[in-house]
Each structure stands twice: as structure tokens, then as C-alpha cells.
Amino acid sequence: MTPSSSPTAEGVLPGHDDAGGHAGHHDHPSYLVDGTTVKSWLLTIDHKRIGLMFLASVLFFFLVGGVFALAVRVELLTPGPTIMDAMTYNRAFTLHGLIMIFLFMIPAIPAAFGNFMLPLMLGAKDVAFPRLNLASFYIYVTGAVLMVWGMLNGGLDTGWTFYTPYSTHTTTTVAPVLFGAFVIGFSSIATGLNFIVTVHTMRAPGITWFKLPLFVWAIYATSCIQVLATPVIGLLTLLVVGENLFSFGLFDPARGGDPVLFQHLFWFYSHPAVYIMVLPAFGVMSEVVAAFSRKNIFGYRAVAYSSLGIAFVGFFAWGHHMFVSGQSTFDAGVFGVLTMLVGVFTAIKVFNWVGTVYKGAVDFRTPFAYFCGFLFFTVFGGMTGIAVGTVSLDMPWHDTYFVVAHFHFIMVGATLMAFLAAFHYWFPKMFGRMYHEGWGLVSAALIILGFNATFIPQFLLGNYGMPRRYYEYPERFQALNVASTAGASLLAFGFVIVAIYLTYALFYGRVAGKNPWRSKGYEWLSESPPPTHNFVGPQPTFPEEPHYYVAPKKDEVNDV
Amino acid sequence: MSSAPAAHGAAPAPKFAEHFASLEVQNHAARLGMWLFLSTEILLFAGLFACYACYRFLYPEAFAEASRHLDLTLGTVNTVVLITSSLTAALAVHYAKEGKNNMVALMVALTLLMALGFLVIKGFEYSHKFHEGTLPGKHYSYQGLQLPGAPMYFTIYFLSTGLHAFHVTIGMGVLAWMGIRAITQKNFGPNNYTGVELASMYWHLVDLVWIFLFPMLYLV
Ligand code: HEM
Ligand SMILES: [Cu+2]
């Protein structure tokens, strides 16, 4: 191991230098133990601690959203009322959708893992604006509290899309919930802005743009979308709140307003928002596939550029949500074609990932298992996306369970797989401990199986014509609904196992050492878990390519 | 204060955060961050511009007619006031670079004065509309103009000018903060003027948005 750097080196923590010792957690305490008071966590400006606080929060909301998903699924076990009344059902799926989208999916990978990894991958000590970073967390918490408070006091029954004019007339609590969404938007913007500036200004010497790890490229592209799209939904949520409270009439046909305008503005954000969710997932997978195939990523530049490509064309595809809104055939055609372009860029990535695995020395671990699930969900979900992006096909499928299954496959399937892969891949980096590989593989199998069992029946249901968001349904749909609920239970069971063995590993897991996967990612050059300012000693330089796995040497450092 | 006397801009003491490679990088980061933030502000207003465009297309006569009911004189005066204030804000940056802290404070004060003037004039316009009943949506009660779409015009008028006035207020706060720093700390100088620069950039944005709003609402 490298000898400790001179005590005068920049960034070394004060008060922990007994010269001549060994670098690592003895002289430079890891970020986890450098300050153990509650205050040292709640007021930290260390990107790693903020990342962990985000991680804890999104996991919490994933649990809440998941409980409501199960409630919805249980309700749909029988054709009539099962465990709740119709109004409660409407509130339950709205709550599920809102929490999953705004409080879990959007911040999950960027705010939790992005925050933790981005500076490490750039060889930087922190993000550009550490205080803004902490503020972003508290803004998120404030928005979340507002939202949840509103949902508990009155509840919202509009679905997460809060389409007008229903949302401007409903007597349920629109104001606090949408205002909460507005506040969360600021958090999203702050994080995105911070990351863009960080990538521009904080790269260590030697990290040129084309030496950036692909996860960084993906987060960068995501941040651009966050910064450019979020203000529009911010304005829109405010307008709907205003409409609901003061009857401005902007989107109310009774007052000469145009509800379709609402839909345009809504989807102008919400379509790119799916890429806010899925691009970071693509980024994670690029890291994981190279690390566990032990091969340099195939077509680095194509993967990097296609992230930017998706981010760009993502802004011009929103109209595919409105094929049945009275849009002209010409518009629908244009939006259809633009939608296909997203498919082209995604396909580039898929081919490159497959090209990376091809002839690689695959090390089949839990993250790689999630990669396999991911590949399936992305391809299958992407193909059904091309299908619903085709105007003539979307006409019958619109607002049926086919669409529900499609967006769960691509958005949730892909993102969730990546979230879990990231969690397992970076767990040793973040906590310095290993989880149990056997349980990891078993639960991965359960989750992938459960996910398929939940949503494949929903594709069929949609195809047979079952509309989404309906409380009751004809008898003939029951078998498939039961199958879907059974799948959801399997899925939930898988998550419980993950929660158990990861919590166990957190305290009793085998000590991981610096780089247990022998990964080539820059983040592994630091200690596991890293010290407060990430790298001990002078700023590191990065002469190698980021995914340089060609011909791994046998005697590579592997200090497990 | 431990910093060297900064009255002549000799040795300004900018706050340097050690996670940046150099002070230059830090300033670059601050400026880039501000540009990104301003682009989000523009997009925020762009949503309202889109609403305007849509309803102007749906109700051309009502919009043309309703815009005649705004006070063009007051609007023009306000435009001049705001453009002038942008000039003084820019001058504040100029003096900050030269380390003339008192002039910075003076320019900020002038800018704030004009901003206040802007808001007062806007207040007169608003109160006139409240009086007349040319109000948004269901609150519209003006008898003199009964075309369908007229209430929509005033909805957009109030939303966009209101949001703009809100930004004016925020901008005033930021500028005032810089003015106070110029007076109490006297440490703006050739190496330390980013704060004033960012505040002034924000003010130019407020100005720019008005330059769009004015023709959109008052002229066309
Ligand atoms: C445990 C697995 C899950 C099950 C069983 C499940 C089930 C459902 C059901 C039945 C609906 C209602 C569909 C409708 O009628 O519109 C729904 C909607 C939705 N789900 Fe899930 N879901 C699950 C996981 C997730 C996850 C992990 C996310 C996001 C991270 C998510 C995001 C959404 C969204 C955005 C909606 C739309 C809500 C709306 O229409 O307002 N779901 N889900
Ligand atoms: Cu879309």
C-alpha cells in the first residue's frame, strides 16, 4: 500500500496524522466515522453523507410506495370491491404513483449514488457547491413532507398526472400535494445544476471529457434534462394550484381554457422525466457490465453520445402521450417518428453492452444478475415502447393496462434493476463490507421473476381491453389480475430478503478491502469506505481510460 | 477582520473553498452555476409565454382589445426605469472590479430605488384593475369589455407580471445584500467581484423578462 502522504498535503484531515503510518482508515477516518453525532450527519456538507441520506430517504419512500402498490394489487384481486372503496382506491394509486415517481425514481440513482460517486469518479474532493447539495436534500424533505401531509389530509384522487379540468375541480387536496411537487422540483434542479458545474470544473488533471466514466456521462445528460425540463412542471403545478384555489380558468374549458395545453406542458416535462429516471440506470449498467465482463466497454463514445442524444430527442417526443387528444394526424406522425429516434439511441447502447459481454470473462455476481434482468426489461419494454409509439397501435392500447405494463417495464424495470445493481456493486465502496453473494443471487432471481409475473399479465390485460385506473372490472379479467397480484407478492418477498441480508452485511459483513471486484473504475482508487475528502494526499491523476479492463493481470491489487 | 485593508482593492480577501483547484476555477464554477440557474428562470417564464401564445391564437380579437386596456404610458415609463436600473447594476460590477466599494454601494442604492419605483407604478396599475374588475378568471367583472377570452388575457397578465414582480423583489434582496457587503466589508476588488457580478446577472434577467413581457402584453 502507498505510504501516507506528507501531513501538509492539501485535503488531509486535521488531527489524524501520525507520520509514517499507513494510509487508510487508521490515519484518515472514513467518512462514516469522521464525526458521529447526529448533528455531524444532519449538517454535513460531505457529498458522501448527503448521498447516504438521500439513499435512506428514497428507500423509505420506496417502501411506502410499495405498500400502496400492494394495496392496489390486492384490491384488484376480485372484480368488485375487495378491501377498500372506490375513492380510497383512487387515492391509493395516486399516492403510489406520485411517491414512486417524485420521491423514489427521480432522485434514486442521481441523488443517492450520483452524489456519492460523481466526485470520486472525477478525482474531486466534493461537488462544486456542497452547501447547495445539502440544501437540495432538505428541499426534497420539505417537499416530501408537504406532499405526504396533503395526501394524509384529504388525499389526491387525480392520478399522478393530475390532468385538468378534473384536478382543478376535485374537492380532494390538490394544493399541498402539488405544491410539494413544486418544491421537490427545486431539489431536482439544484442537484442537476450542481452536477453539471462539478463535471465542468472539478475534473482531476488527466480526466478529459473522453476519459469520463460512462456513469458520469449519463448523470451529466440527466442533469441537463433536470435543469431544462423541471422549471416547466414547476410552473404548471403552481398554475394548477392557482386554478384549484382561485378559478383562473387557464385550463378549464368552461372558462374558455384549454385542457390540452395543460397536457402539452405536462408531458413536455414528464416525458423527459422518464429519461431522468432511466438514463442514470443506463449509466450504472455501463459500469457494471464492463466490471463483471472484465472487458473494456465496447464503443465508449457511442455510449457517451447516445446519452446526450436521448436527452436531446427526449424533449421532442412528448406528443406521443396525446395521440388520442385530438391532435392532427400530421402531428401524431411527427411525434411518432421522434419517439422512434429515442429507440435508435437506446438500441445503440444495448448493442454496445452486448458487445461488451461478448467474449468477456464474465464474473456472474449479483450486479451482473441485475444486468441480465435489466437487459431483458429494457429490450422488451423498449420494443413495447416502439409499439405504443406507433399511432395506429396506441389507439386501442391507450389508457389500458398495456401502457401500465409498458411503463413499468422500461421505467421501473430498468431503473429498479440498475438501482439494485448499483446498490450491490457499490455497497463495498460505500460501507467497506461485503454482502452475502448467495442470498444476493437468490433474491435477484426472485425479483426478476416476480417483476415479470406482475407485469406480463398486465400486458395481456391491456391487450384484452382492461382500462387502467378502474376500480371494478368484468369477471373475465380476474385470472390475469390474480396472476399479477401473485407476482407482486413474489416481488415484495424478494425485496424483503434484500433488506435483510444488506442490513446484516452493514454490521457483520466481511470487510471488503479497497477494491473487491478488482474494478477499473476511478472510484475504486480511493479507500473503501473513502475518507472525508475522498483521496488521501495530493489530487490523484488518471492516466488510464475509465473502463480499461483489457487483459487483467493476475497479481492485481486485491487486498480483501 | 483579519484581511488586509481592501479600500483600494489592494488585497481583497475572497472566500476560497478548498475543494476547488484554484480561485479562478471557483469563480468559473459560480458563473456557470448562475448561467444554468438563469436558464431555468427563462424556462419558467417560457411556460407562461406558451400559454399566452396558445390563447392569443384562440382569441385574437379579445387579446388585441384587452391589451388596449392596459396603461401604455405607465408601462413605457416602467420599461425605461427598469432598463436604466440594469445600467446602474452593470456599473456596480464595474466599480466592484476597481475596488471602489462606496461607488458599488451607491450604484446598488440607485438600482434599488428604481426597482422600488417600478413596483410602485405596477401597484398603481394593479389597483386600477382591481377597481375596474379586469381580473383573472371567474373574478372578471368588467362591463366595458365582454369578448370571450378577455378574462383569459387578464389571467395571463396577472400571472406573468405577478411572477415578474416576485422576481424583482428577490433581485432587490440579492442586490441589497451586495450593497450591504460593499459598505460593511469594503472588500470588493479586482479579484473579488463575483458576488456583485452574479447579482447583476440576475438583475439583467429580470430586466430581460420584462422586455419580453412589455411588448407581449402592452403593444401587440
Ligand atoms: C411492487 C411492484 C409494483 C406494483 C405491483 C405496481 C402496481 C401498480 C398498479 C396496479 C398501478 C395502477 C395502474 C393504473 O390503474 O393506473 C400502478 C401505477 C403506477 N406505478 Fe406501480 N407498481 C409497482 C411498482 C412501481 C414502482 C417501483 C414504480 C416507480 C418507481 C411504480 C410507478 C407507478 C406509476 C408512476 C404509476 C401510475 C400511477 C397513476 O396512474 O397515477 N410502480 N402501479
Ligand atoms: Cu413519453
User: Could you report the per-residue pLDDT of A86-145, keeping only the tens digit for each?
Assistant: 999 999 999 999 999 999 999 999 999 999 999 999 999 999 999 999 999 999 999 999
Domains, chain B: 20-219 (1.20.120.80)
User: Could you report the per-residue pLDDT of A149-191, keeping only the tens digit for each?
Assistant: 998 888 888 888 888 888 888 878 888 999 999 999 999 999 9
Q: How far is the CA of A399 from the centre of ligand 2 (A)?
A: 13
Give yes or no for B148 touching A (CB within 8 A).
Answer: yes
Of the CA atoms within 13 Å of residue A350, those in its CB half-sphere come to 19
User: Could you report the per-residue pLDDT of A243-257, keeping only the tens digit for each?
Assistant: 888 888 888 888 888
Higher pLDDT, A37 or B136: A37
Contacts of B19 in chain A (CB under 8 A): 11, 124-126, 130, 202, 533
Give yes or no for B137 touching A (CB within 8 A).
Answer: yes
Averaged pLDDT for residues B137-163: 86
Task: Give B69→chain A minimum CA distance, Å.
Answer: 19
Query: Using an 8 Å Cβ cutoff, are A188 and A201 in contact?
Result: no
User: Is the per-residue pLDDT at B7 higher than 70?
Assistant: no
Confidence of residue B12 (pLDDT cuts 50, 70, 90): low
What local confidence, expressed as pLDDT, does residue A324 receive?
Answer: 85
Task: Measure the CA–CA gap between B121 and B218, rounded to whole angstroms.
Answer: 15
Task: Measure the CA–CA gap between A78 and A471, rounded to whole angstroms.
Answer: 10
B27: its cell numbers:
469563480
Residue A560 lies in a domain: no
B18–A125 CB contact, under 8 Å:
yes
Residue A548 lies in a domain: no
Query: Using an 8 Å Cβ cutoff, are A421 and A370 in contact?
Result: yes
What local confidence, expressed as pLDDT, does residue B10 receive?
Answer: 45
A250: its cell numbers:
387557464
> By percentage, how much of chain A surpasses pLDDT 90?
71
User: Could you report the per-residue pLDDT of A287-321, keeping only the tens digit for each?
Assistant: 999 999 998 899 999 999 999 999 999 999 999 99
Task: Measure the CA–CA gap between A343 and A142, rounded to whole angstroms.
Answer: 36
Give yes or no for B58 touching A (CB within 8 A).
Answer: yes
Measured from the Cα of A492, ligand 1's closest atom is 1
Query: What's the first-to-final CA gap in chain B, in angstroms?
Result: 55
Q: Give me the residue from B19, B47, B54 closest to A232, CB to CB.
A: B47
User: Is the per-residue pLDDT at A22 higher than 80?
Assistant: no
User: Could you report the per-residue pLDDT of A388-403, keeping only the tens digit for each?
Assistant: 988 889 889 999 999 9
> By percentage, how much of chain A surpasses pLDDT 70?
93
Of the candidates A7, A117, A106, A2, the residue with the CA atom closest to the CA atom of residue A58: A106
Count CB-CB contacts under 10 A for residue B124: 11
Task: Measure the CA–CA gap between A424 and A440, rounded to whole angstroms.
Answer: 8
Averaged pLDDT for residues A485-509: 96
What local confidence, expressed as pLDDT, does residue B4 receive?
Answer: 39
Residue A6 lies in a domain: no
The complex scores an ipTM of 0.90
In chain A, the number of structural domains is 1
Query: Using an 8 Å Cβ cutoff, are A52 and A432 in contact?
Result: no
Contacts of B149 in chain A (CB under 8 A): 256
Assess whether the C-beta atom of A490 lies below 6 angstroms from ligand 1. Answer: no
Give yes or no for B71 touching A (CB within 8 A).
Answer: no
Measured from the Cα of A104, ligand 1's closest atom is 30
- Mean pLDDT is lowest, of A334-338, A464-468, A535-539, A547-551, for A547-551
User: CA torsion sign, A91 to A94 to A97 to A98?
Assistant: negative
- Cα distances from A300 to residues A210, A211, A361, A548, B80, in angstroms, run 8, 9, 19, 11, 53
What local confidence, expressed as pLDDT, does residue B142 receive?
Answer: 80
Give yes or no for B14 touching A (CB within 8 A).
Answer: no
Confidence of residue A546 (pLDDT cuts 50, 70, 90): confident
B151–A258 CB contact, under 8 Å:
no
> By percentage, how much of chain B surpasses pLDDT 70?
94
Assess whether the C-beta atom of A101 lies below 6 angstroms from ligand 1. Answer: yes
Probe residue for ligand 1, chosen from A88, A412, A466 as the CB with the greatest number of ligand atoms within 8 Å: A412
Confidence of residue B13 (pLDDT cuts 50, 70, 90): low
A240: which residues sit within 8 A by CB, 6+ positions away? A162, A164, A167, A168, A174, A178, A251, A262
What local confidence, expressed as pLDDT, does residue A232 receive?
Answer: 93
Confidence of residue A406 (pLDDT cuts 50, 70, 90): very high
Query: Using an 8 Å Cβ cutoff, are A79 and A140 in contact?
Result: no
User: Could you report the per-residue pLDDT of A38-89, keeping only the tens digit for each?
Assistant: 999 999 999 999 999 999 999 999 999 999 999 999 999 999 999 999 999 9
Task: Give B192→chain A minimum CA distance, Å.
Answer: 18
> Going by CA atoms, what residue is nearest to atom 8 of ligand 1?
A69
What local confidence, expressed as pLDDT, does residue A538 receive?
Answer: 75
User: CA torsion sign, A347 to A307 to A131 to A428?
Assistant: positive
User: Could you report the per-residue pLDDT of B61-90, keeping only the tens digit for each?
Assistant: 889 888 888 889 999 999 999 999 999 999
Task: Measure the CA–CA gap between A135 and A270, rounded to whole angstroms.
Answer: 24
What local confidence, expressed as pLDDT, does residue A5 receive?
Answer: 37
Query: Using an 8 Å Cβ cutoff, are A185 and A234 in contact?
Result: yes
Q: How far is the CA of A104 from the centre of ligand 1 (A)?
A: 12
Probe residue for ligand 1, chosen from A408, A420, A493 as the CB with the greatest number of ligand atoms within 8 Å: A408
A142: which residues sit within 8 A by CB, 6+ positions away? A183
Place of cell 417537499: A143
Task: Measure the CA–CA gap between A381 and A409, rounded to whole angstroms.
Answer: 5
Assess whether the C-beta atom of A176 lies below 6 angstroms from ligand 1. Answer: no
User: Could you report the per-residue pLDDT of B25-52, keeping only the tens digit for each?
Assistant: 999 999 999 999 999 999 999 999 999 9
- Phi, psi of A3, deg, nearest 5: -70, 160
Confidence of residue A263 (pLDDT cuts 50, 70, 90): very high
* A26 exposure class (CB count in 10 Å sphere: 0-12, 13-18, 19+): exposed
How many Cβ pairs closer than 8 A exist between chain A and B?
Answer: 110
User: Could you report the per-residue pLDDT of B169-184, keeping only the tens digit for each?
Assistant: 999 999 999 999 999 9
Contacts of B43 in chain A (CB under 8 A): 228, 231-232
CATH number of the structural domain spanning residue A264: 1.20.210.10
User: Is the per-residue pLDDT at A26 higher than 60?
Assistant: no
> Going by CA atoms, what residue is nearest to atom 2 of ligand 1?
A488
Give yes or no for B159 touching A (CB within 8 A).
Answer: yes
B33–A128 CB contact, under 8 Å:
yes
Coil vs helix vs strand at A146? helix
> What is the rounded average pLDDT for all residues in chain A?
89
Measured from the Cα of A160, ligand 1's closest atom is 41
Residue A530 lies in a domain: no
Task: Measure the CA–CA gap between A349 and A341, rounded to whole angstroms.
Answer: 13
Contacts of B33 in chain A (CB under 8 A): 128-129, 193-194, 197
Task: Measure the CA–CA gap between A66 and A418, rounded to whole angstroms.
Answer: 17
B59–A256 CB contact, under 8 Å:
yes
> By percentage, how much of chain B surpasses pLDDT 90?
65
> What is the rounded average pLDDT for all residues in chain B?
89
Contacts of A228 in chain B (CB under 8 A): 39-40, 43
User: Could you report the per-residue pLDDT of A437-455, keeping only the tens digit for each?
Assistant: 999 999 999 999 999 999 9
**Chain A, window 212-251: residues with a beta carbon less than 8 angstroms from a chain B beta carbon:** 227-228, 230-232, 234-236, 239, 242, 246-250
Full residue range of the structural domain in which residue A273 is found? 43-525
What local confidence, expressed as pLDDT, does residue B17 receive?
Answer: 82
Residue A484 lies in a domain: yes
User: Is the per-residue pLDDT at A432 higher than 90?
Assistant: yes
Quick check: bond before A529 cis, omega within 30? yes
A136: its cell numbers:
437540495
A256–B152 CB contact, under 8 Å:
yes
Task: Measure the CA–CA gap between A333 and A344, rounded to whole angstroms.
Answer: 17
- Mean pLDDT is lowest, of A175-184, A375-384, A532-541, for A532-541
